[in-house]
Each structure stands twice: as C-alpha cells, then as structure tokens.
Structure 1
Amino acid sequence: MRVRFSRGVLTIAAIVVVLAVAITVGLYNLLKQAKPFRQVVAGCVVRTPSGELNLDVEQAQISATIAAVAARRKLPERAVVIAYATALQESKLYNLNHGDRDSLGVFQQRPSQGWGKPKQIMDPVYSTNKFFAALVKVKNYRKMPLAEAAQEVQRSAGGYAYAPHEGDAKILAAAFTGRVPKALHCTYPAPTATPTTTPRPRAEEARRKLARALGSTAITTERRGWLVAAWSVAHAQEYGLRRVDYSGVSWRAEEVSDGWKPGGKSSTTEVVLS
C-alpha cells in the first residue's frame, strides 16, 4: 500500500528543510566569526626563536628577579643561564620554604653552610645576589660546561642534574634579559572590585620593588627596556597593573593569547605602567 502525500504537505516539508539548512549555515558563519570564549586564568608564556615555555606567575616573577639582579651586577647572559638551570633543578623556580635538611629558597641554600639567615635566603633578591657572588669566583665559569659551573657554586650531591635544564634556561635568559623583545606574555583575571573600592594600579610601588633588584630603573638601552617591561608584566597582578607600554607596543592583562600589540604610548626611553 502506497502512502500518498498531498501537494500542500510536500510544500511544507520542503520549506522546513530549506529553513533548517539556512539556519544551520547562518549559525556556522556566526560561530566562525565569533571569538571563542576563554576563561582568563593567571599564567605566563615565554616565546623565543629557540622555543616556548609555560610558567606559573611565581616562576615568571622569580625569573624576572634573577635577570634584574644579573643586570645590576653587569653579568653576561651566560651567568643568567647558569642561574636559571640551577634554580630549575633546585626548586623549579619557586621560592620554597623547605628542602633537604635546612635548604631553603630558589637555590636551596643552607643557613648552616653560610648562605645567610633563613629570612634572608627566602628573599629572592638576596639569594640571587649570593648565588652570583659565588659564581663569579669560579674561574672561567663562562667557558666551562654549565653543570660544572653550577656545581662549583652549589656543591650538590648530584651536580650532573643541572645540565638537562640548559635548553630551557637559555629560553628564559633570552626573554627576561630583554635580548628577545616581546617574549613574555602573561594573562590575569580582572581584579575584584567591592562596592566601595576599585583596585588601582600601584606603579610607583612596583618601580620601587624593581629598583631593589635592578638598581636604577632608567632605560639606557632598548634591551634594558625590555628587561623592565618583562619584569613589569611578570609582577602586574601583584601591583594591579593592567597595561605595560614600551617601544610602540602594548601588553594588556585581558588579552588571552595575542601578546604584545602595536599602539603603545611609550618610546624606547620609557616603560609606562598603568
């Protein structure tokens, strides 16, 4: 038995199919043009020609501090690479309040071995200065294998363990010393405002903290400017900064993955924080 449909039913069915196709195509084009929603989570990424690394905010801050202390001491990039490889092995670039026996801090320095008091070692600026002060006493540290130079400072039970971190250390050094511009990008959720208060950027407070590690915050070279810019981005959440401008480009905290964009207000003689 055949089922016959009237011409009216067939017409309605055809209209429904056409409408369904039109709606599907319209939704596809709309979704294609729309930017995907992404939840803003605090975190950082370093991108250089040598590779890419993801960092927690604390790791980025520690990395920026090590580079700033090295710049203040006028040390070569090789010293920074050695410091990063050591810190990656000892603490994964975290300021640890525990460790083997009485080891503490980024470099797991021991108060009992003369590195300083516990409170001092837990200060990344202090501990980094102590590391570099010991490193520069190592004869020919710039030319010797990284693991040997690090071991001369640390006197670790497993000095061979520093070598595998050299590649990542070089990526970090290129970014945080400012040799590779625009290499650090961090994203931070918008600060929470209460009915009576709105968080405000504390740019001057940030500059005072930077000065403790770097000395003068004056921009004397473009590379130094990028060092200051990277330090500022790494510490932006701590000081309520939502934007950093330098050399004609701008970093903004709400940008999830786009990084630095043209349109910065500053020149190569100033890093603007806001």
Structure 2
Amino acid sequence: MRFSRGVITIAIIVVVLAVAVSVGLYHLLKRATPLAVPEAHCTVRTPEGELYLYPEQAQISATIAAVAARRRLPERAVVIAYATALQESKLYNLDYGDRDSVGVFQQRESQGWGRKKQLMDPVYATNKFFAALVKVKDYRKMPLAEAAQEVQRSAGGYAYAQHEQDAKILAAAFTGRVPQSLHCWYPPGKGSPPPPRAAEARKQLSRALGSMAITTKRRGWLIASWSVAHAEKYALSHVAYGGLTWSNDMELEGWQAGGKAGDREVALS
C-alpha cells in the first residue's frame, strides 16, 4: 500500500509533536511540587541501628526515657521498658486490650495497677512499670524477657526478647546518650501556622522529668529529643541545643549547625 507525500508528511509532524509534548510534560512534572504530602514521621539513627516511628510512638518513647531519668534508673531499665511496650502496644497509648488491659504497657485495673484513667496517662503508667521493675532482684543482669515477665506476668513472656535490639536503639537516642539522633517532620498547617506553645511543652515535660535543669549534655539531649518528638503536638518548628538546631523542614536531614542555645539550655520556638 502506497501513501502520498502529504500523508507521510502529516504523519511525521504528528510523531514529532507527540514527542515534543511528552518531553514537555516530563520536565513539567519533574519540576512540579508533589501533590501527595508525606505524613508526619520520626527517624531514629544511632550506632545500634535505625528505626522509623510515628509521632505518637516517638512521644511515648521520650516520656519513658524522661520518667526513667527522674527515677535515676540505668539504661538497662529503659531498654526493658521499651521492649515491653513494643510487645504490648507497639508504643501506642491504647484504650483497649485483652480483658481490661489498657495503655502503653497494657496494665489492668483489676490487677491493681490503677484506675483506667490513670493507666491511660503514659507518665503514670511508666512510673508504675518502673516501680515494679526495680523490685525484681538482679533485673539488670537477667535476660530481658525474664525481667519483663516478672513485671507483666504475661501469658507469653518469651515474646519480649524479640524487641531487645529495637529497644536498645530507642534507649540510645531518647536517654540522650547518642546526641542528635532523632529527627521528626510534620506537615505544616494551611494558612498561618499556630504559635508555638513552648511553655506548655516544658510544663508537660516537667511532669515526667521533674527538674528542667541541664546538669549534663546527656540530660540536655534527652530534653532536646523529647521536644522534637512533641514538636507537632506543641507547634514547635525549631529546637536548639549545644550549638545545633532541629527544624521542621522536610528538605533538611537531621540537626544543623547553628543556633544560640548552648549546653545549658534547650531553646524552643
């Protein structure tokens, strides 16, 4: 079948235009802002490994570390608490569970842990957990699952052991032993952002930690990590400590050099 020169010319023009349109669309889409905004998230990076957390999980983790610091407990106690919470609730403050179990540690009102309203308070629940843990003889030296089971009296106490490595990663970050190991991001609200509630954030932290005095760099990084974990809740866009600053900026990776806060102050804004 033969085609006239006119038909062939038209066909060539159509092909060239199609290619041009395709190339143009490719470059346009490449430069366009993504329509799907990522959800709020946190990343923990330490020499022990890396973990991805949702904001509530980061907030619970920060609270557990703060309560442990107030009680002057060793990092091993924090690791045991994290492994227990990971198994019981995946680090969420659940208002349901097996029978009357609720909260981060799935404690039961019928077993004398406290009233449901109290158990739904992570600070209260964590204090109850640690109060029971320190009564376990040699809990620092025994296998993690055994120590956790002595507190929880679970039907499957062996399951706590599988979370030990993740618990060590969390403990390294949230106790402040590994500096600048937590980075969180949350999508800014539409329109004018709400003013930061730094005073309210400090008040809530003091419930778990007690004194806000920074006596060591480790304590300073614990406070800084707690603040970053709670940034979305209290509309914080910057946390500064030790000459470094965390910003709620998706394009920034981790803490950046700069900021007026030294080693004796965590600045929130």
Same fold per TM (> 0.5)? Answer: yes
Shift of the alpha carbon at 1:36?
Answer: 8.0
Partners of 1:35 and 1:247 in 2: how far apart?
37
| Structure 2 residue 253 is the aligned partner of structure 1 residue 258 | yes
Partners of 2:216 and 2:191 in 1: how far apart?
38
Partners of 1:206 and 1:160 in 2: how far apart?
37
Q: Structure 1's 155 and 257: CA in aligned 2 closer, same or farther, altered over 3 A?
A: farther
| Structure 2 residue 198 is the aligned partner of structure 1 residue 203 | yes
Count of aligned residue pairs for this structure pair: 264
1:268 counterpart residue number = 263
2:89 counterpart residue number = 91
Shift of the alpha carbon at 1:257?
Answer: 5.4
| Structure 2 residue 115 is the aligned partner of structure 1 residue 117 | yes
1:216 counterpart residue number = 211
CA root-mean-square deviation: 2.9
Shift of the alpha carbon at 1:265?
Answer: 2.0
Q: Structure 1's 96 and 265: CA in aligned 2 closer, same or farther, altered over 3 A?
A: same
* Aligned AA (2:248): A
Contact 1:187–1:256 (8 Å) recurs in 2: no
Q: TM-score, normalised by structure 2?
A: 0.88
- Please give the secondary structure, in 1, of the residue aligned with 2:246: strand
Shift of the alpha carbon at 1:248?
Answer: 1.0
Partners of 2:169 and 2:205 in 1: how far apart?
22
| Residues 73-84 of structure 1 mapped to structure 2, 5 A cutoff | 73-84=71-82
Contact 1:44–1:56 (8 Å) recurs in 2: yes
| Structure 2 residue 52 is the aligned partner of structure 1 residue 57 | no
Q: Flag structure 2 segments of 5+ consecutive residues without an equivalent.
A: 6-11
* Aligned AA (1:154): Q
Contact 1:191–1:240 (8 Å) recurs in 2: no
Partners of 1:102 and 1:257 in 2: how far apart?
43
- Please give the secondary structure, in 2, of the residue aligned with 1:86: helix
- Please give the secondary structure, in 2, of the residue aligned with 1:201: coil
Partners of 2:105 and 2:56 in 1: how far apart?
14
Q: In the alignment, which of 226, 234, 249 is matched to residue 221 of structure 2?
A: 226
Of 166-175 and 38-47, deviating more is 38-47
Partners of 1:234 and 1:259 in 2: how far apart?
13
2:240 counterpart residue number = 245
| Structure 2 residue 130 is the aligned partner of structure 1 residue 135 | no
Q: Structure 1's 253 and 40: CA in aligned 2 closer, same or farther, altered over 3 A?
A: farther
Partners of 2:135 and 2:168 in 1: how far apart?
22
Shift of the alpha carbon at 1:218?
Answer: 1.4
| Structure 2 residue 69 is the aligned partner of structure 1 residue 71 | yes
Shift of the alpha carbon at 1:39?
Answer: 2.7
Of 35-44 and 163-172, deviating more is 35-44
Q: TM-score, normalised by structure 1?
A: 0.86
Shift of the alpha carbon at 1:65?
Answer: 0.2
- Please give the secondary structure, in 2, of the residue aligned with 1:139: coil
Contact 1:102–1:111 (8 Å) recurs in 2: yes
- Deviations for 1:141-197, whole angstroms, at most 9, x for unmatched residues? 000000000000000111100000000000000000001111111001113346xxx
Report % sequence identity.
70
Partners of 2:110 and 2:37 in 1: how far apart?
45
1:153 counterpart residue number = 151
2:8 counterpart residue number = none
Q: Structure 1's 256 and 165: CA in aligned 2 closer, same or farther, altered over 3 A?
A: farther
Shift of the alpha carbon at 1:220?
Answer: 0.9
